[in-house]
A and B are shown apart, each in its own frame.
Chain A
Amino acid sequence: KAGVTQTPRYLIKTRGQQVTLSCSPISGHRSVSWYQQTPGQGLQFLFEYFSETQRNKGNFPGRFSGRQFSNSRSEMNVSTLELGDSALYLCASSLGGPELETQYFGPGTRLLVL
């Protein structure tokens, strides 16, 4: 079974631009969560999508948004990029049910904002 894939793996943008990152979950997984990883803050939860609906949300500004498609693939968008948005963005997928289960992480997209 293929793992979680994220594209692109690396991105360089300038302040004020916007960016879209993509995540393809493991086949059969309906939940996709997004995390931001930085050296100073560690891994922080952005949001989770399940069946095309945002089900959970972290404490990030509205510049960070996402969506999920009917095939469970998810995209994350960051508008009006700031230098502090430079980070590794990770997505994780799981079945999404109420029972305890493991999340599987992708390799991440490294975003550099200049």
Chain B
Amino acid sequence: QQQVKQSPQSLIVQKGGISIINCAYENTAFDYFPWYQQFPGKGPALLIAIRPDVSEKKEGRFTISFNKSAKQFSLHIMDSQPGDSATYFCAATGAGGYQKVTFGIGTKLQVIP
């Protein structure tokens, strides 16, 4: 049972375009929603995160949009660059401690020049 559903699983975007990854969760006990970025051969690294009392959070070219009533959230990468090519995971935590993170399946993003 996947508690955090993520789509698409792969995404190809041209340089300068907008990359959009969507996630939906089921457990209303989740109260923290981080996004992780993973490069080949590396562990995931925290990219940006949001709490459900905020509808949007922006950090540089990365923006999270959060819809609490729909239990959905998304990551937008503006002006996508080849260096953004990586696998992105949405996640949710807070139900049973912040050390137990439930991840989406991941989205492999390729930004082509």
Contact residues in A for B46 (Cβ distance below 8 Å)? 102-103
Contacting pair A42 B99 (CB below 8 A) = no
Question: How many angstroms between the C-alpha atoms of A106 and B45 in the bound complex?
Answer: 9
Interface size for chain A: under 10, 10 to 19, 20 to 34, or 35 or more residues? 20 to 34
Give chain B nearest CB distance to A76 CB in angstroms. 15
Contact residues in B for A43 (Cβ distance below 8 Å)? 44, 89, 101, 103, 106
Contacting pair A45 B97 (CB below 8 A) = no
Give chain A nearest CB distance to B59 CB in angstroms. 14
- Which one, B43, B105, B106, contacts A106 given CB within 8 A? B43
Which B residue's beta carbon lies closest to that of A94? B99
Which A residue's beta carbon lies closest to that of B102? A45
Which B residue's beta carbon lies closest to that of A9? B41
How many contacting A-B pairs (Cβ < 8 A)?
63
**Interface check A24, CB cutoff 8 A:** no
B27-38, CB under 8 A of A: which get 1 and which 0? Answer: 000001010100
B97-113, CB under 8 A of A: which get 1 and which 0? Answer: 11111111110000000
Residues 54-113 (chain B) with a chain A CB within 8 angstroms: 89, 94, 96-106
**Interface check A56, CB cutoff 8 A:** yes
* 12 cross-chain CB contacts under 8 A: A33-B100, A43-B101, A45-B100, A48-B100, A55-B99, A90-B43, A92-B43, A103-B101, A105-B36, A105-B43, A105-B44, A107-B43
Chain B positions near chain A (C-beta within 8 angstroms): 32, 34, 36, 41-46, 89, 94, 96-106
Kindly list 9 other residue pairs between chains A and B, CB separation below 8 angstroms, not including A33-B99, A100-B94, A107-B43: A33-B100, A43-B44, A43-B103, A58-B100, A94-B98, A94-B99, A103-B101, A105-B36, A106-B43
Chain A positions near chain B (C-beta within 8 angstroms): 4, 31, 33, 35, 41-45, 48, 50, 55-56, 58, 90, 92, 94, 96, 98-103, 105-108
